[in-house]
C-alpha cells in the first residue's frame, strides 16, 4: 500500500528548514507562501518567494545531501511534505518511458548540482539515492523490454487461444466455451494470463492482444461449432471472450469486433463479451455506451467474477447485461459456509428476475455440481468439466463429450 505524504501547517515567520540541515524531503505549497533564503552564485544573499503549487526543497528527492537554503513561511501556509520514497511508490503506476525519462533528468539535475555546488556539503549526492534511482531505472527498463517482447510475440504469432468447456448443468450438454489467452514464449514456455495480462493492460498492449484473441477465436470457433453440430452433443455452442477496460474506451470497439468476427463467419449472437465489475466501476458512463453498441451489434454481455468485490448493483439495471458469471469464490464456500449457499440462491433469484443467464465458475467437485443443479443454476464452468485446452484437444473433447459426461456424472444427461 502507498504511504501518504504529510500535511503540515506553519504560522507566518516560522522556519520550515535551515540551510545546512540534513534534507529529508520536498514540500508542495498548498496555500500561503514561503521565502527561500540562500547564497546566490555571485556569493551575495538572495531571497525568492514560492507560492501555492510550487515545490521547495526538491533537490532532496534526487540526492541525500543537506539543505542549500533556509525556508521560512512568509505568511500562514499549508505544505505537503513528500520524500523520495513517496515518489518511487507513485512512479510504479507511471508509463516506464516516463519513468526512465524522469530518472535520467533527476540524475542529470543531481550531477549538475554537484558540479556547480563547488564541493559544498549540499552538493554531495550520496550513493544511497543514486542506488534508489538506478534500481527504479532498471525496473522501467525491464517493463519496456517486456512490452517490446509482447509486441514482438504478437508479430511472431506466439499468443494462442485455449478453450475451456461450459456445461448446461441440468442436461450435461456442452453449451459453450470460454476463450482464454496463452503465450507460447520462446524461452519461458507456456505463460498463463497472470504472467502478462495486467502488465499488457498497464502498458497499453492489451487492445492488440484482444484483437489477436478475437482474430484467433474467429478462426477456431466455426470449426468447434461445426464439430459440435456433427457430434452427439448436438446444438450450437457459444463462446465467451474477455475484454479489458482499454478495449471499451475505444469508440469503435463494437463495430471493429463485429467486423472481425463477421469476416470469419462468426455470428456476434454466439459471442459473450466478458467484462469485470471493476471495469464498469472505473468509467461507468463510457463503458455503458460501448456496451450498448456491442449489444446493438448482437453480442451478449456477461459480468465476469460477479460478486468478487463490488457491492453496487445499480449498473445491472442501467447496462444491457445478458449474463452473470458467479465468481469462483462462491463455489468454494458453497459447501463449507452456511451463508455461501444462501448467497448463491439469492443471486440465482436475482438473475432469474432480471432475465439473466447465470454461470457458476470454479466447479471442481461433483458435490458442488450436484448442489448447484439442485438450486437450478443454468450453466457451469470449472476443472470438474476440464481446464482450458488447445483447439485440437477441444475438438476431441467435443467428439467424446457425451461419453465423458456419462463417465463422470453420477446422474447422466437425460
Write out the residues near ligand C2E by the rule CB under 6 A.
Answer: 164, 180-181, 192-194, 197, 206, 209-210, 213, 242-244, 274, 304-305, 328, 362-364, 381-383, 387-388
Find the shortest distance in angstroms from Cβ 241 to ligand C2E.
Answer: 7
Find the shortest distance in angstroms from Cβ 217 to Ca ion.
Answer: 13
- Of 34 and 300, nearer to ligand C2E (C-beta) is 300
Query: Cell 495486467 belongs to which residue?
Result: 198
Q: How far is CA 166 from CA 71, 291, 309, 378, in A?
A: 66, 23, 23, 10
Fill in the per-residue mask, 338 to 377: x = in contact with Ca ion (CB under 5 A), - = not in contact: -----------------------x----------------
- Of 82 and 330, nearer to Ca ion (C-beta) is 330
Q: Which of Ca ion, ligand C2E, none does residue 364 bind to, with CB < 5 to 8 Å depending on kind?
A: ligand C2E
Contact partners, residue 8, CB within 8 Å, separation at least 6: 27, 78, 79, 80, 81
Find the shortest distance in angstroms from Cβ 409 to ligand C2E.
Answer: 16
- Residue 178, φ and ψ in degrees, nearest 5: -110, 130
Find the shortest distance in angstroms from Cβ 193 to ligand C2E.
Answer: 3
Q: Does position 68 bind Ca ion by CB under 5 A? A: no
Residue 83: helix, strand or coil by DSSP?
coil
Q: How many residues does the chain have?
A: 414
Other CB atoms within a 10 A radius of the CB of residue 370 amount to 15
Q: How far is 24 from 85, CA to CA, in rounded Å?
A: 10
Find the shortest distance in angstroms from Cβ 242 to ligand C2E.
Answer: 4
Among 242, 244, 359, 381, binds Ca ion (CB under 5 A): 242
Q: How far is CA 176 from CA 218, 308, 341, in A?
A: 15, 23, 25
Q: Are the beta carbons of 220 and 391 closer than 8 angstroms? A: yes
Find the shortest distance in angstroms from Cβ 182 to Ca ion.
Answer: 14
Query: Cell 540551510 belongs to which residue?
Result: 19
Q: Which of ligand C2E, Ca ion, none does residue 246 bind to, with CB < 5 to 8 Å depending on kind?
A: none
Q: Which of Ca ion, ligand C2E, none does residue 323 bind to, with CB < 5 to 8 Å depending on kind?
A: none
Q: How far is 332 from 344, CA to CA, in rounded Å?
A: 11
Q: Which of Ca ion, ligand C2E, none does residue 268 bind to, with CB < 5 to 8 Å depending on kind?
A: none
Query: What is 69-119 written as a DSSP string?
Result: SEEEESSSEEEEEE-HHHHHHHHTTS-HHHHHHHHHHHHHHHHHHHHHTTT
Among 64, 274, 277, 323, binds Ca ion (CB under 5 A): 274
- Of 206 and 356, nearer to ligand C2E (C-beta) is 206
Find the shortest distance in angstroms from Cβ 394 to ligand C2E.
Answer: 13
Q: Which of 166, 251, 257, 148 is nearest to 210 (CA)?
A: 257
Find the shortest distance in angstroms from Cβ 211 to Ca ion.
Answer: 17
**Cross-strand partners of 241:** 179, 273
- Of 273 and 341, nearer to Ca ion (C-beta) is 273
Q: How many residues bind Ca ion (CB under 5 A)?
A: 5
Helix (H) or strand (E) holding 328: helix 328-334
Find the shortest distance in angstroms from Cβ 361 to ligand C2E.
Answer: 6
Q: How far is CA 403 from CA 225, 237, 390, in A?
A: 19, 18, 20
Q: How far is 30 from 328, CA to CA, in rounded Å?
A: 46
Number of residue whose CB is nearest Ca ion? 274
Q: How far is 239 from 224, CA to CA, in rounded Å?
A: 10
- Of 243 and 395, nearer to ligand C2E (C-beta) is 243
Q: How far is 214 from 205, CA to CA, in rounded Å?
A: 15
- Of 87 and 243, nearer to ligand C2E (C-beta) is 243
> Which residues in 275-314 contact Ca ion (CB under 5 A)?
304-305
Residues in touch with Ca ion (CB under 5 A) = 242, 274, 304-305, 361
Amino acid at each position: 500500500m502507498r504511504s501518504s505524504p504529510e500535511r503540515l501547517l506553519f504560522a507566518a515567520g516560522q522556519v520550515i528548514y535551515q540551510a545546512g540541515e540534513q534534507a529529508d524531503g520536498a514540500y508542495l505549497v498548498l496555500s500561503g507562501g514561503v521565502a527561500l533564503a540562500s547564497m546566490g552564485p555571485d556569493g551575495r544573499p538572495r531571497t525568492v518567494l514560492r507560492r501555492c503549487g510550487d515545490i521547495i526543497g526538491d533537490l532532496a528527492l534526487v540526492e541525500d545531501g543537506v539543505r542549500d537554503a533556509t525556508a521560512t513561511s512568509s505568511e500562514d501556509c499549508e505544505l505537503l511534505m513528500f520524500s523520495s520514497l513517496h515518489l518511487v511508490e507513485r512512479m510504479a503506476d507511471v508509463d516506464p518511458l516516463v519513468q526512465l525519462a524522469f530518472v535520467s533528468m533527476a540524475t542529470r539535475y543531481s550531477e549538475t548540482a554537484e558540479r556547480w555546488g563547488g564541493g559544498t556539503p549540499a552538493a554531495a549526492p550520496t550513493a544511497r539515492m543514486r542506488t534508489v534511482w538506478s534500481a527504479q531505472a532498471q525496473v522501467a527498463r525491464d517493463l519496456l523490454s517486456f512490452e517490446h517482447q509482447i509486441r514482438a510475440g504478437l508479430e511472431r504469432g506466439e499468443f494462442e487461444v485455449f478453450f475451456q468447456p461450459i456445461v448446461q448443468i441440468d442436461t450435461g450438454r456442452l453449451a459453450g466455451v470460454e476463450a482464454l489467452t496463452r503465450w507460447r514464449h520462446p524461452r519461458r514456455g507456456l505463460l498463463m494470463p497472470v504472467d502478462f495480462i495486467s502488465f499488457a493492460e498497464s502498458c497499453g498492449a492489451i487492445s492488440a492482444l484482444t484483437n489477436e484473441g478475437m482474430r484467433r477465436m474467429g478462426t477456431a470457433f466455426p470449426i468447434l461449432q461445426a464439430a459440435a453440430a456433427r457430434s452427439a452433443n448436438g446444438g450450437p455452442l457459444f463462446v465467451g471472450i474477455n475484454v479489458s477496460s482499454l478495449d471499451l474506451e475505444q469508440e469503435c470497439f463494437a463495430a471493429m469486433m463485429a467486423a472481425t468476427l463477421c469476416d470469419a463467419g462468426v455470428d456476434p449472437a454466439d459471442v459473450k463479451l466478458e467484462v469485470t465489475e471493476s471495469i464498469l466501476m472505473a468509467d461507468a458512463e463510457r463503458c455503458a455506451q460501448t456496451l450498448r453498441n456491442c449489444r446493438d451489434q448482437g453480442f451478449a454481455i456477461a459480468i465476469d467474477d460477479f460478486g468478487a468485490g463490488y457491492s453496487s448493483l445499480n449498473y445491472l439495471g442501467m447496462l444491457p447485461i445478458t449474463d452473470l458469471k458467479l465468481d469462483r469464490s462462491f463455489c468454494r464456500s458453497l459447501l463449507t459456509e452456511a451463508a455461501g449457499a444462501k448467497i448463491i440462491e439469492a443471486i440465482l433469484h436475482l438473475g432469474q428476475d432480471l432475465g439473466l443467464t447465470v454461470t457458476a465458475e470454479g466447479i471442481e467437485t461433483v458435490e458442488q455440481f450436484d448442489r448447484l443443479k439442485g438450486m437450478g443454476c443454468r450453466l457451469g464452468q470449472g476443472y470438474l468439466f476440464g481446464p482450458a485446452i488447445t483447439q485440437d484437444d477441444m475438438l476431441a473433447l467435443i467428439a467424446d463429450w457425451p461419453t465423458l459426461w456419462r463417465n463422470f456424472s453420477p446422474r447422466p444427461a437425460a
